[in-house]
Amino acid sequence: MAHHKKKGHPDAKLSVKDILRLRKKESKRKLREKRARLVIKNLPFDTTEENLREHFSKYGDIFEVKVLKKEDGKSLGCGFIQFKLVQRARKAKHYTDGQPFLGRNIDVDFAMAKKKYEKIKVKKELEIDPNIKIKEEPMDAEFDNIEKSDEKDEIVKLEDSAREIDPDDNVDSDENNSDDSIESSDEEDVEELEVKKEYSESRTRIISNDVSEGKTIFVKNVPFTATNKDLKECMLQFGPIYYALICIDKLTEHSKGTAFVKFCFKEDAEKALEAGTELTLMGSVLDCHKALDKKEIKSKLDAKESSKSAVKDSRNLYLVKEGVVMAGSKAAEGVSGADMTKRLKLEQYKSQILKNLNMFVSRVRLAIHNIPQNWDDKKLRSLCERFVNQGVKIIEVRIMRDFNNVNAEGIGKSKEFGFVTLDTHENALSLLRKLNNNPNIFSKSRRPIVSFSIEKRSAIKTKLKRLEKSRLKNPKSKFFNPDLSKKENENIDDSHNPVEVGGLNEFSGISAELGVQKMRSNYKLSAQAKKHSENMKKEKKKLKLRKKTLKEKKKEFTKQERQKIGKSKDDYDDFSKLVSNYKKTISGASSLKSKWYT
């Protein structure tokens, strides 16, 4: 099909979908504009559009001013003003509502749709007179008439369209006509879109200075039943105010329990902020705060969220991974097997020791392993000074030694590891990365193993306390305190002298004597406890005996039988049996016949 475009608009053709979307946008724009429309009631009858525009133009740009009139040209005492921006309309309403205009107090309010206004009017009438009832009439007849008339109209339209169609006309001419009609409608829509763009470009957002002036306060704990008028009356005790607005929820259209109040003077706003619990409204204490800018609130919320999401690592556990040489990595190339096993053992030791929550990783102290045995503190310091930048302060360098194994000079054998403390974390990290696993320092087979030192929190605290104490006692120090050293000396003298206190009581126990004595052994203490329990038992028995009467004691006493000296009866009977048996054997032997030969 052939499509023809107009010369002035080569790309003016739009689809039906785009046209509908543009119309929808335009309707939304009109609705938005109507939000900035004010209705003015109780106008003087001699009011003209010019003097009404002049009166309201100081609050903002005005699109349209309309004064309603009767058929005979007389004023109805009512008019409409269309502002460019809603903020300006709100400002105009705030300052002109109930104020005099040409000698008459006018009522200013936001305009609403006719249907909505009629509904509200009907509701008000019903509230005034509850006997009024809406009459319900049968609508069937009317609908039948409407339907019939619609059917007739449709038939007429169809007939007209049939007459217009000519069978001899070519299809191309129809297409051209349809294309022209679409193009013309498209052109109109494009023009509307251009107007809309111009309107949106000219529309600039006004930045309010309410917060920067310091006159505005934000109020919390506002009763849900309170109105703007109630809040205004409450706040007038501090001074004159521009506005008192309660925050309304968009969905529920109910109070949020918060509000904004702008005072005419900054001093009055400060008074309201200082009121505290004395400021109440409808029985609830109002919580006043200084109003903040939207950007400031957003930055605070962002900071709060970032602080929540940020991981709190007070023990600096992430630094444990610094300087670890992984097997198979580029750093592991050329590392000896002994060094690798030593590194592995150190990592295992670190993971084990850091299970104790009292241990943490230092940010400024480095632990250096694989130091040659003939190295001393000075040599290690000179090495560190070579690899740090100028101006970096090395606080401490120490090689750990075994003082149980001392040489002829009285120096302990080196443990082949030491510690280096620097002024900042950045410098410590830089030195670690330069020294760790460097083959050009000690030797290629024995490289320095450098990592951040693991410290004990309690030990660090005691060390700092000791250092602070020594500074206070040192006369050359800036922090020297002579009074403290005197007090300590006095306390030491008092502690060595025994104190004389009255006589010793029987229940006080052993008195302590001045001198060096060993602590009592656990065995002696347990023996004393055993002895004490035995004594307690004896005392209890004695108490029981004392309590018993003479009769009870006689009953308990029983005479024991005397033991017989000599053999018992049973033993005697056994002996007689033995004798009789022996006699029988002798007599039996003589009666037996013996042989004549041997």
Range list for CATH 3.30.70.330 in the chain: 16-128, 210-296, 317-473
Average pLDDT over residues 361-378: 92
pLDDT winner (highest mean) among 82-86, 176-180, 407-411, 429-433 = 429-433
Please identify which residue in the block is written with the tokens 């217009």. Answer: 164
- Please name the residue ranges forming H helices in 294-448: 294-309, 337-353, 377-387, 425-435
Alpha carbon distance 322, 345 (integer Å)? 16
> Can you read off the two tokens belonging to residue 388?
């740090």
Average pLDDT over residues 234-261: 89
Please identify which residue in the block is written with the tokens 């004023």. Answer: 75
Higher-pLDDT residue of 127, 286: 286
Q: How confident is the model at residue 476 (pLDDT cuts 50, 70, 90)?
A: confident
Q: Is the pLDDT of residue 144 over 80?
A: no
pLDDT winner (highest mean) among 34-38, 427-431, 510-514 = 427-431
To the nearest 10 degrees (0 to 180), the angle between helices 86-96 and 49-56 is 100
Q: How confident is the model at residue 154 (pLDDT cuts 50, 70, 90)?
A: very low
> Can you read off the two tokens belonging to residue 380?
């290690």
Q: Is the pLDDT of residue 285 over 50?
A: yes
Superfamily of domain 317-473: RRM (RNA recognition motif) domain (3.30.70.330)
Half-sphere exposure of 137 (CA within 13 A, CB side): 4
pLDDT at 561: 60
Q: How confident is the model at residue 492 (pLDDT cuts 50, 70, 90)?
A: low
Question: Which are the contacts of 9, defined by CB distance < 8 A and separation ≥ 6?
Answer: 183, 186, 187, 190
Q: Is the pLDDT of residue 397 over 90?
A: yes
pLDDT at 34: 74
Other Cβ atoms closer than 10 A to 186: 21
pLDDT at 500: 61
pTM: 0.38
User: Which among 218, 299, 214 is positioned nearest to 256, based on CA atoms?
Assistant: 218
Q: What CATH code is assigned to 210-296?
A: 3.30.70.330
Contact 482/489 with Cβ under 8 angstroms? no
pLDDT digits (tens, 9 = 90+) for 52-103: 888 888 888 888 888 888 888 888 888 989 888 888 888 888 888 888 888 8
Q: Give the distance between the most distant pair of CA atoms in the chain.
A: 195
Alpha carbon distance 231, 135 (integer Å)? 43
Q: How confident is the model at residue 597 (pLDDT cuts 50, 70, 90)?
A: low
Question: Which are the contacts of 172, defined by CB distance < 8 A and separation ≥ 6?
Answer: 2
Q: How confident is the model at residue 258 (pLDDT cuts 50, 70, 90)?
A: very high
Average pLDDT over residues 560-573: 56
Average pLDDT over residues 26-36: 74
User: Which among 470, 290, 443 is positioned nearest to 372, based on CA atoms?
Assistant: 443
Q: Which amino acid is at 163?
A: R
Q: Is the pLDDT of residue 147 over 50?
A: no
List the strands of the sheet with 394-406, edge to edge: 394-406, 412-422, 359-369, 449-456
Q: Is the pLDDT of residue 280 over 60?
A: yes
Higher-pLDDT residue of 571, 187: 571
Q: Report the phi/psi class of residue 286: left, alpha or beta, with left for phi > 0 and alpha for psi in -120 to 50.
A: beta
Average pLDDT over residues 27-53: 83
Q: 444 to each of 181, 263, 553, how far by Cα in Å?
A: 89, 78, 98
User: Which among 259, 222, 223 is positioned nearest to 241, based on CA atoms?
Assistant: 259
Q: Mean pLDDT in the chain? A: 76
pLDDT at 309: 64
User: Which among 207, 230, 231, 208 is positioned nearest to 218, based on CA atoms?
Assistant: 231
**φ, ψ for residue 308 (rounded to 5)?**
-70, -45
Q: Is the pLDDT of residue 519 over 80?
A: no
pLDDT over 70, % of the chain: 68
Higher-pLDDT residue of 206, 35: 35
Contact 67/75 with Cβ under 8 angstroms? yes
Contact 458/437 with Cβ under 8 angstroms? no
User: Which among 221, 260, 267 is positioned nearest to 243, based on CA atoms?
Assistant: 260
Average pLDDT over residues 255-278: 89
pLDDT digits (tens, 9 = 90+) for 105-119: 898 988 877 666 666
Average pLDDT over residues 558-568: 56
Higher-pLDDT residue of 285, 34: 285
**59-63, 110-114, 156-160, 542-546, range with the lowest pLDDT:** 156-160
Please identify which residue in the block is written with the tokens 């690798």. Answer: 340
Please identify which residue in the block is written with the tokens 């001392």. Answer: 406
User: CATH: 3.30.70.330, 3.30.43.10, 3.30.350.10, 3.40.640.10. Which one for 16-128?
Assistant: 3.30.70.330
Q: How confident is the model at residue 408 (pLDDT cuts 50, 70, 90)?
A: confident
Other Cβ atoms closer than 10 A to 164: 7
Alpha carbon distance 79, 102 (integer Å)? 15
Q: How confident is the model at residue 259 (pLDDT cuts 50, 70, 90)?
A: very high
Strand partners, 216: 262
pLDDT at 138: 47
Q: Is the pLDDT of residue 366 over 90?
A: yes
DSSP 3-state of 416: strand
The DSSP output letter for 311 is -
User: Which among 159, 136, 140 is positioned nearest to 148, based on CA atoms?
Assistant: 140
Q: Is the pLDDT of residue 321 over 70?
A: yes
Long-range residue pairs from 232-235, CB within 8 A, at least 24 positions apart, any chain: 232/261, 234/279, 234/281, 234/286, 235/261, 235/263, 235/272
pLDDT digits (tens, 9 = 90+) for 571-581: 556 677 777 78
Task: Give the β-pairing of 241-248 and 216-220.
Answer: unpaired
Cα Rg of the chain (Å, integer): 55
Q: Is the pLDDT of residue 364 over 90?
A: yes
Q: Is the pLDDT of residue 191 over 90?
A: no
Please identify which residue in the block is written with the tokens 């009977």. Answer: 573
Alpha carbon distance 262, 154 (integer Å)? 62
pLDDT digits (tens, 9 = 90+) for 423-450: 999 999 999 999 999 988 888 889 999 9
Other Cβ atoms closer than 10 A to 223: 17
pLDDT at 552: 73
